[in-house]
Amino acid sequence: MTKKSDDDGHKAGLKPDTHLSIGGRDPFAHHGYVNTPVYHASTLLYRTAEEYVAHRGRYQYGRRGTPTSEALETALREIEGPACAGVALLPSGLAAISTALLAVLRAGDHVLVTDSVYGPTRRFCDTVLVRFGIATTYYDPLVGAGIAALMQANTRAVFVESPGSLSFEMQDVPAIAAAVHDRGALVLMDNTWASPLYFRALDKGVDLSIQSGTKYIGGHSDVMLGAIAANAALWPQLREMIFTSGLCVGPDDMYLGLRGLRTMGVRLARHQQSGLTIARWLQARPEVLHVLHPALPNHPGHALWSRDYSGACGLFSIVFKPVRQEAVYAFLNALGLYGMGASWGGYESLAIPFDCTSSRSATKWAPGGPCIRFHIGLEDVGDLTADLERGFAALAVAS
């Protein structure tokens, strides 16, 4: 667990790619080795009884932080920007979401959650928060400043996720934040899609910004990780929540996070470039009704994306023109380079079918045809489109 230190002055004004390279590293504290060692640690010994009783020293116990956790937290804090007062690490993105909610809510509170939210976040609200007497209302992701009208006297927090990770509605986060803060409530955001490299959530009025580090931070589909970045007002409360509930991450997982982070800038740029190339290619296909990618000019959220975001990752969806579900499965089954599986953000491409109908309560999901979500990986983009050609051939046969 780290906070801003006084010696960070020389880092002011550095660009995100530089922070990704230098963040959280202090080679000469480790014999000159470039990377911070992986501390496998629980017990920490004190030299004297007096030191033990006073808990003197920089570290106290493995759960409460090691040089390894500090390195990752510091690196993440630096890419979140100066508005970030501290970053907490969690064992998964979902754990980061549930912990952020529990850190700010109490019995009797009300929380507003976007209807486009990641499914397991909805499940946490509907099954766990409800047991603690916390009520959830889902709202239209396009509500913008209209969120004010949905707030109740006991609304303590508003949860945003922009864009939705299946349906890709863009939210007006600054407008929501202004309305929510006016009424004394807090804004929590799942910022996994853009990451702080492409959307500086804390600068846009978000109080707690959450990332599933499992995605682009890890980047190799081999680690589960989560992070919550807090502004100065909420950091003490979040830090206390993490310490008192005993949450911590295994050292090797933190190392994989650190290792992934160093190349996240170049990977994201490539995911973005290939993702857009393939999104445009799909847009020109006669079988495709819509491509749901906020960086495409005809996406309904494009103006918000252009105003607030500096990039896009490799995740987007398409809507087929009406066709039998069997034909969609034939399309997917014919693909050789796109895996079918949960999660995203690794180096490999993925394609999965989805239907949001049963997970909507404030809005109606009626895209006009069956849907597929793509994650575009780091493979050659020509090979990826050639593979899609095979999918479309199989779709035609099965239609």
Ligand X SMILES: Cc1ncc(COP(=O)(O)O)c(C=O)c1O
Enzyme catalytic residues: 63, 118, 190, 215
Least distance from ligand X to the Cβ atom of residue 352, Å: 11
Least distance from ligand X to the Cβ atom of residue 191, Å: 9
Q: Which residues pair with 211 in a beta bridge?
A: 227
Q: What is the DSSP string of 94-119?
A: HHHHHHHHHHH--TT-EEEEETT--H
Q: Does 165 bind ligand X (CB under 6 A)?
A: yes
Q: What is the DSSP string of 44-101?
A: ---SSHHHHHHT-SS---GGG--HHHHHHHHHHHHHH-TT--EEEEESSHHHHHHHHH
Question: DSSP code of 35?
Answer: S
Least distance from ligand X to the Cβ atom of residue 165, Å: 4
Q: Cβ(350)–Cβ(337) under 8 Å?
A: no
Express the helix, strand and coil content of the chain in percent, nearest 5 each: 40, 15, 45
Return the residue of 185, 208, 224, 291 that touches ligand X, per CB under 6 A. 224
Residue 366 exposed, middle or buried by CB count within 10 Å (0-12, 13-18, 19+): exposed
Q: Taking CB positions, which residue lies at the least distance from ligand X? A: 93
Nearer to ligand X, 74 or 98 (CB): 98
Residues numbered 32-91 forming contacts with ligand X, rule: CB under 6 A = none
- Residue 283's region, left for phi above 0, alpha for psi from -120 to 50, else beta, is alpha
Q: What is the DSSP string of 229-283?
A: EE-TTTHHHHHHHHHHHT----HHHHHHHHHHHTTHHHHHHHHHHHHHHHHHHHH
Nearer to ligand X, 34 or 342 (CB): 342
Amino acid letter for position 298: N
Least distance from ligand X to the Cβ atom of residue 213, Å: 7
Count of residues that interact with ligand X, criterion CB under 6 A: 12
Least distance from ligand X to the Cβ atom of residue 27, Å: 30
Nearer to ligand X, 155 or 195 (CB): 195
Least distance from ligand X to the Cβ atom of residue 53, Å: 39
Return the residue of 190, 207, 253, 308 that touches ligand X, per CB under 6 A. 190
Site mask, ligand X, residues 247-286, x = CB under 6 A? ----------------------------------------
- Of 241, 240, 214, the residue nearest 227 (C-alpha): 214
Q: Does 343 bind ligand X (CB under 6 A)?
A: yes
**Residue 176: which H helix or E strand, with range?**
helix 173-182
Residues numbered 289-318 forming contacts with ligand X, rule: CB under 6 A = none
Nearer to ligand X, 159 or 334 (CB): 159
Amino acid letter for position 388: L
Site mask, ligand X, residues 83-112, x = CB under 6 A? ---------xxx------------------
Return the residue of 214, 231, 349, 359 that touches ligand X, per CB under 6 A. 214
- Of 72, 79, 76, the residue nearest 37 (C-alpha): 72
Q: Does 118 bind ligand X (CB under 6 A)?
A: yes
- Of 85, 60, 59, the residue nearest 73 (C-alpha): 85
Which tokens go with 135? 């009520």
Nearer to ligand X, 295 or 395 (CB): 295
Least distance from ligand X to the Cβ atom of residue 158, Å: 17
Q: Does 208 bind ligand X (CB under 6 A)?
A: no
Strands 315-320, 288-292: pairing is: antiparallel
Least distance from ligand X to the Cβ atom of residue 285, Å: 25
d(CA 84, CA 229): 6
Nearer to ligand X, 272 or 399 (CB): 272
d(CA 14, CA 12): 6
Nearer to ligand X, 82 or 250 (CB): 250
Q: Cβ(341)–Cβ(352) under 8 Å?
A: yes
Nearer to ligand X, 229 or 395 (CB): 229
Provide φ and ψ at 298, rounded to 5°: -90, 5
Return the residue of 36, 69, 209, 212 that touches ligand X, per CB under 6 A. 212
List of residues contacting ligand X (CB under 6 A): 92-94, 118, 165, 190, 192, 212, 214, 224, 226, 343
